[in-house]
Amino acid sequence: MDRRVELVILQIETDVARAWETAELAALVNLSASRFRHLFKAETRLTVGEYLRGRRLARAEFLLRTTFLSIKEVMSEAGMGSMSHFVQYFKKRYGVTPTAYRKRLATFVKH
């Protein structure tokens, strides 16, 4: 993988909840926003937005599984902007809403 993309991914991973702008990420590796978007997509097969959303959803899933934070707190800690989008994207990725996911986990723990 291109070292510049690796550096950006590492930066995203250190603060996934941050409101990253493509131009800001591009500047980290001395590329124009346009060139960076092209390179990122070529290397990861995802747009920057798709990558960020995926990492944020993974973070949210981890928090739901390992903490007692409220759904709203999980959404905030993961960097998701709105509850409706969070629930929509989470359900699309994991097949259930965040609330149902947590209830399902609680059921497994009891048995």
Q: Are 4 and 29 in contact (CB under 8 A)?
A: yes
Write the CB contacts of 56 (distance below 8 Å, at least 6 apart in sequence): 16, 17, 78, 79, 80
Tell if the pTM clears 0.75, that is, is over it.
yes
Q: How confident is the model at residue 106 (pLDDT cuts 50, 70, 90)?
A: confident
- CA-CA distance, 36 to 21, in Å (whole number)? 12
Q: What is the tens place of the pLDDT at every residue in 45-63?
A: 999 999 999 999 999 999 9
